[in-house]
């Protein structure tokens, strides 16, 4: 792998644009102030070259060139660790590796191979992998193997699993995520097979746009609050979200805001997380999907305290 560009702030997040023979991908490392890196450190790695799904709010869609190998995925992890911990030992109490940067993980079975081998390849007592998926149709083998690996290697809350749903309206969900995928009933059945005592609850993630229903009655029809929790995040300011006219229901600039529709979810008995990250991450581009360098250049550079460098001609990165 070759690092061709980087952007970020060392105290918030760093994004690296990486070149492999098949094309460019991104990987990210971040912290969540005021928590220290020794308390929680998060890596986000790519699993596909681009993505064939093209969700309405995601800049990683399009330009799909295939799957990363297990070695190519591990190379991202190894590089990010070496930047912070050259001796290879990661002291973070929670060291989260998210298979969620570029690409849908269920489309790459090598993700499962890496999950099986990861504890033997890195020295990180706080390791907690995290998989986020839209659950594409025809990927049952991935999910069956995921349950086996989770039970064998990451029991008792050492694994995080998330379905990205975005709305409880099936027709709108099909518009936002324009591929054939599992319905709510199939997700609920998976939850029954997946969840064991001591496991973390399965997250139902909603990057919630204005006028996108989040109906507690629909949730209760399928998802047991003892197995599932609800996480709502702001809609990140991606090129794709702007082009499709999506605006965020949650105001990322007002962490004290009250949302009546979300209060109804809590009243229905669900654990609710409203996850608002550091706004610096949008400036850095650590939430924004593919081609971070294009985002930075077109928005006139970074504010004081941030760094951005390109190690090959910008024209080669477009």
The predicted structure's pLDDT at residue 265: 95
Above 70 in pLDDT, residue 226? yes
The answer to which of 1-15, 256-270, 279-293 has the lowest mean pLDDT is 279-293
- Whether residue 79 contacts residue 1, with contact meaning beta carbons closer than 8 Å, is answered with yes
Residue 275 has pLDDT above 70, yes or no: yes
Q: What is the pLDDT of residue 304?
A: 55
Is the confidence at residue 217, as pLDDT, over 50? yes
pLDDT for the residue 261: 85
At residue 291, the pLDDT reads: 46
Residue 210 corresponds to which tokens in the numbers above?
């204005």
Structure tokens of 228? Answer: 């599932």
Note the pLDDT of residue 184: 97
Least confident of 81-95, 118-132, 166-180: 166-180
Residue 309 in this model has a pLDDT that exceeds 80 = no
Listed residue (284, 292, 289) closest to 314, CA to CA:
292
Supply the pLDDT for residue 300. Answer: 55
Least confident residue range of 157-161, 169-173, 200-204, 243-247: 243-247
Burial of 141 (0-12, 13-18, 19+ CB in 10 A): exposed
Question: Which band of pLDDT confidence, cut at 50, 70 and 90, is reported for residue 287?
Answer: very low
**Residue 286 scores a pLDDT above 60:** no
Q: Which domain holds residue 213?
A: 2-317
Range of lowest pLDDT (18-32, 129-143, 198-212, 298-312): 298-312
Per-residue confidence (pLDDT) for residue 298, from 0 to 100: 53
Structural domains in the chain (count): 1
Q: What is the mean pLDDT of residues 211-222?
A: 94
* Three-state SS letters, the chain: CEEEEEEEECCCEEEEEEEECCEEEEEEEECCCCCCCCCEEEEECCCEEEECCCCCCCCCCEEEEEECCHHHHHHHHHHHHHHHCCCCECCCCEEEEEECCCCCHHHCCHHHHHHHHHHHCCECCCEEEEEEECCECCCHHHHHHHHHHHHHHCCCCCCEEEEECCCCCHHHHHHHCCCCECCHHHHHHHHHHHCCCCCCCEEEEEECECCCCCCHHHHHHHCCCCCEEEEEECCCCCHHHHHCCCCECCCCCCCCCCCHHHHHHHHCCCCEEECCCCCHHHHHCCCCCCCHHHHHHHCCCCCCCCEEEECCCHHHHC
8 A C-beta contact, residue 307 and residue 293: no
Q: When comparing pLDDT for 281 and 198, which is higher? A: 198
Q: What is the pTM of this model?
A: 0.86
Is the model more confident about 108 or about 313? 108
Q: Which two tokens stand for residue 86?
A: 């050259």
Question: 315 pLDDT exceeds 80?
Answer: no
At residue 292, the pLDDT reads 45
CATH number of the domain where residue 35 is located:
3.20.20.70
CA distance 299 to 287: 15
Mean pLDDT in residue range 196-224: 94
Does position 86 have pLDDT exceeding 70, yes or no? yes
pLDDT given for residue 245 in this prediction: 56
Confidence grade of residue 7 (pLDDT, cut at 50, 70, 90):
confident
What is residue 267's predicted lDDT score, i.e. its pLDDT?
Answer: 96
For residue 205, what pLDDT is reported? 93
pLDDT band at 314 (very low <50, low <70, confident <90, very high): very low
């Amino acid at each position: 792998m070759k690092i061709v560009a980087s952007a970020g702030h060392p105290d918030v997040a760093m994004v690296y644009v990486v070149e492999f023979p098949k094309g460019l991908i991104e990987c990210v490392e971040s912290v969540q102030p005021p928590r220290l890196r020794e308390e929680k450190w998060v890596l986000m790695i790519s699993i596909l070259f681009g993505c064939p799904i093209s969700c309405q709010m995601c800049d990683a869609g399009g330009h799909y060139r295939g799957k990363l190998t297990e070695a190519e995925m591990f190379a991202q992890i190894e590089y990010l660790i070496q930047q912070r911990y050259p001796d290879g030992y990661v002291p973070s109490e929670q060291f989260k590796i998210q298979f969620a940067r570029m690409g849908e993980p269920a489309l790459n079975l090598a993700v499962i191979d890496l999950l099986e081998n990861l504890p033997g390849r890195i020295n990180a007592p706080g390791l907690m992998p995290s998989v986020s998926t839209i659950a594409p149709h025809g990927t049952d083998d991935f999910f069956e193997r995921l349950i086996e690996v989770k039970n064998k290697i990451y029991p008792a809350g050492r694994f995080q699993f998330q379905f990205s749903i975005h709305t409880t309206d099936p027709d709108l969900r099909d518009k936002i995520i324009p591929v054939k995928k599992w319905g709510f009933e199939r997700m609920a059945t998976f939850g029954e097979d997946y969840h064991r005592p001591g496991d973390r609850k399965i997250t139902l993630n909603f990057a919630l746009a204005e006028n996108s229903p989040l109906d507690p009655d629909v949730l209760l029809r399928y998802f047991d609050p003892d197995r599932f929790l609800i996480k709502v995040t702001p809609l990140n300011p991606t090129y794709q979200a702007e082009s499709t006219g999506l605006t965020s229901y949650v105001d990322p600039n007002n962490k004290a805001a009250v949302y009546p529709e979300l209060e109804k979810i809590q009243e229905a008995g669900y654990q609710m997380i409203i996850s608002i990250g550091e706004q610096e991450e949008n400036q850095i581009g650590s939430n924004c999907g593919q081609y971070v360098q294009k985002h930075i250049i077109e928005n006139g550079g970074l504010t004081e305290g941030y760094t951005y460098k390109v190690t090959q001609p910008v024209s080669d990165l477009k």
